[in-house]
Chain A
Amino acid sequence: MGDCGGGVVSRALGWICVLCAFAMSCAAVPVTILYTNDIHLRFGRLASLEQRIAAERAGDVLVLLFDAGDAWQDFRTPLAAVWGADEMVAWMNRVGYDGMALGNHDMYWGRRRLEELAEEAAFPILCANLEPVRGQVPFIPSMRVEAGGISVLAIGLITEEWLPYSAYPALHIIPGASALRREIDRRATPSDLVLVLAHLPVADATRIASVVPEIDVFLTGHSHEETPDPVSVGETLIVQSGAFGERLGRLSIDVDPETGSHRLIANELLATEKAPTEIGRGLAQLLWIAAATAAAAILILR
């Protein structure tokens, strides 16, 4: 008799658990986060990336698209580098990026040109750990996306490595963890999902995540790493999609707006195809630069 009663209780508890799980899964909002980083003006990959992004958006799941920096510049591709930044911004506008972290290479255009590019961008440029001592800057520390019934806070971070400090005298870099803490505290309304678009290596993101546990997802860059399996630090997921647009990262998570918790469903790095690119456009500009440099050198040396 006693055994029979215990069986009923355990079955009832089992059903309660199943119902609770069902209720939780009903409350959870599925979110797909598409991410790129360090595209570095590799135009040959853009058509394939665009197809992948369009295919992901064809479903009925909330899709967010972010870049973790270094999209607009690369000296290793001089023919693209001299004209490509505007084209890159136009492409990112067309495919509908929600936001982008400022990368160190994106600053190599100089202050004036960076301001022009940020003006052209239809999405915010994010960077919380470079703060202006004086004057205006063409980026903001964080943004909020309200979509699909959830509120997403996205915060930008940039690496301290290889920043062109001399060209930006009025900028002051602060530690990434302090910048995140300040930004999270500044936002009075709680967010269902806290994303960090970090132009930082995975190892740096790991260190920061260990002291700022409120971060749900770190989309990283700079180090050109691939993370087929997200790196987990507590509840924080850290991912990176390699470089040069060779992969589109797709992170699928369930976000529970009631509890603010998230659950990893899947992370994939989707391969893209490389198409031939027209390099002739950059040739004329490059020749102008070479001619101007040679003229200046002759004027100074002769």
Chain B
Amino acid sequence: MRRWIPWLLIGCIGVNAVAALPEAWFGRASAMIDLPPGGTRIAVGWDGGGPAVTVNRPVAPRIAGVASVSSVTPFALRAVFVLIADLVPFVAAAAVGTDGIGMVSTLFFGPVRIDAGRCWGSVPNRWGTVQLSARPGLSLLFGAIEHDGEVEPFAGVRLFPGGHGLWEIDLSIGREAVRWAIAGVAW
């Protein structure tokens, strides 16, 4: 699995365009760090305006690092800190990055989770998603993102061909664009 990481990183550097919060489209912007320690999640896709790549890696039980390239921000690095983890089902995290600051909160009800967040910075936006993950190979995602006063609702699906979350194909359809991503976790 490690062999494709350099190619992805090369691809990442070669991409010029980026999205405001690509993780939102991929259903991954969550206040919960659910990747096991040592895993690096890499998502490559199309955010509607151009190619997008997001690399996400937990570096401590409550801290994750995120690097992203999208059609809006050429390159962004963020550190996500889980601030509230002991009030389950409510979890909250703050993000500090080169593209601004942000916050994300999650209400985790098991197979149903609600994630909502806001980003202040070069591309301010806010978004919310409801995700239903009741089957091993499939999650459904419904949400909306607001940017420049425009609200775009979208619906998406996350497919897990291996029956687990280490490989996935995401597709979301919004009013303005169809977005997709292929994501995998490497150790």
Interface of A with B (CB < 8 Å)? 75, 82, 104-105, 107-113, 132-136, 160-173, 285, 288-289, 292-293, 296-297, 299-301
| Binary per-residue interface labels of chain B (24-67) against chain A in the complex, 1 for a CB within 8 Å, 0 otherwise | 00010000111111110000000000000000000001000000
Using Cβ atoms and an 8 Å threshold, which residues of chain B touch A288?
A: 87
Q: Which of B91, B105, B111, B162 touches A172 (beta carbons < 8 Å)?
A: B162
A134 to B88, Cβ gap below 8 A?
Answer: no
B36 to A163, Cβ gap below 8 A?
Answer: no
Does B128 make an interface contact (CB < 8 A)?
yes
B34 to A135, Cβ gap below 8 A?
Answer: no
Using Cβ atoms and an 8 Å threshold, which residues of chain B touch A108?
A: 89, 108-110
| Binary per-residue interface labels of chain B (89-107) against chain A in the complex, 1 for a CB within 8 Å, 0 otherwise | 1111000000000010101
A110 to B88, Cβ gap below 8 A?
Answer: yes
Using Cβ atoms and an 8 Å threshold, which residues of chain A touch B73?
A: none
A165 to B165, Cβ gap below 8 A?
Answer: yes
Nearest-Cβ distance from residue B130 to partner chain A, whole angstroms:
12
B32 to A167, Cβ gap below 8 A?
Answer: yes
Does B126 make an interface contact (CB < 8 A)?
yes
Whole-angstrom CA separation of A270 from B156 in the bound complex: 48
Whole-angstrom CA separation of A136 from B158 in the bound complex: 25
A170 to B126, Cβ gap below 8 A?
Answer: no
Known: A161-B134, A300-B118. A293 touches B36 (CB 8 A): no
Using Cβ atoms and an 8 Å threshold, which residues of chain B touch A164?
A: 108, 110-111, 113, 133
Whole-angstrom CA separation of A165 from B87 in the bound complex: 21
Known: A164-B111, A293-B107, A300-B128. A172 touches B163 (CB 8 A): yes
Does B68 make an interface contact (CB < 8 A)?
no
Whole-angstrom CA separation of A119 from B37 in the bound complex: 18
Closest to A167 in B: B34
Whole-angstrom CA separation of A168 from B35 in the bound complex: 8
Does B139 make an interface contact (CB < 8 A)?
yes
Does B135 make an interface contact (CB < 8 A)?
yes
A292 to B116, Cβ gap below 8 A?
Answer: no
A285 to B87, Cβ gap below 8 A?
Answer: yes
Known: A289-B90, A299-B103. A165 touches B36 (CB 8 A): no
Q: Which of B39, B92, B108, B126 touches A134 (beta carbons < 8 Å)?
A: B39
| Binary per-residue interface labels of chain B (115-127) against chain A in the complex, 1 for a CB within 8 Å, 0 otherwise | 0111000000010
Q: A135-B39, A300-B105 are in contact. List 16 more A-B contacts (CB 8 A).
A: A82-B87, A82-B88, A110-B32, A112-B33, A133-B166, A134-B36, A165-B111, A165-B133, A165-B139, A167-B32, A169-B34, A170-B166, A288-B87, A292-B92, A297-B116, A300-B103
Nearest-Cβ distance from residue A300 to partner chain B, whole angstroms:
5
A111 to B105, Cβ gap below 8 A?
Answer: no
A300 to B164, Cβ gap below 8 A?
Answer: no
Using Cβ atoms and an 8 Å threshold, which residues of chain B touch A82?
A: 87-88
Whole-angstrom CA separation of A135 from B187 in the bound complex: 10
B84 to A292, Cβ gap below 8 A?
Answer: yes
Whole-angstrom CA separation of A285 from B88 in the bound complex: 10
A165 to B118, Cβ gap below 8 A?
Answer: no
Can you list 13 contacts pairing A with B, beta carbon distance less than 8 Å?
A: A110-B34, A110-B91, A112-B61, A133-B166, A135-B39, A162-B134, A165-B111, A166-B131, A167-B113, A169-B166, A292-B90, A296-B116, A300-B116
Using Cβ atoms and an 8 Å threshold, which residues of chain A touch B36?
A: 111, 132, 134-136, 170
Whole-angstrom CA separation of A172 from B91 in the bound complex: 25
A173 to B136, Cβ gap below 8 A?
Answer: yes
Using Cβ atoms and an 8 Å threshold, which residues of chain B touch A292?
A: 84, 87, 90, 92, 105
A167 to B108, Cβ gap below 8 A?
Answer: yes
Whole-angstrom CA separation of A134 from B58 in the bound complex: 15
B134 to A296, Cβ gap below 8 A?
Answer: no
Nearest-Cβ distance from residue B169 to partner chain A, whole angstroms:
14
B88 to A168, Cβ gap below 8 A?
Answer: no
Known: A300-B126, A300-B128. A173 touches B163 (CB 8 A): yes
Using Cβ atoms and an 8 Å threshold, which residues of chain A touch B18?
A: none
Whole-angstrom CA separation of A167 from B164 in the bound complex: 11
A166 to B133, Cβ gap below 8 A?
Answer: yes
B84 to A104, Cβ gap below 8 A?
Answer: no
Does B20 make an interface contact (CB < 8 A)?
no
A296 to B92, Cβ gap below 8 A?
Answer: yes
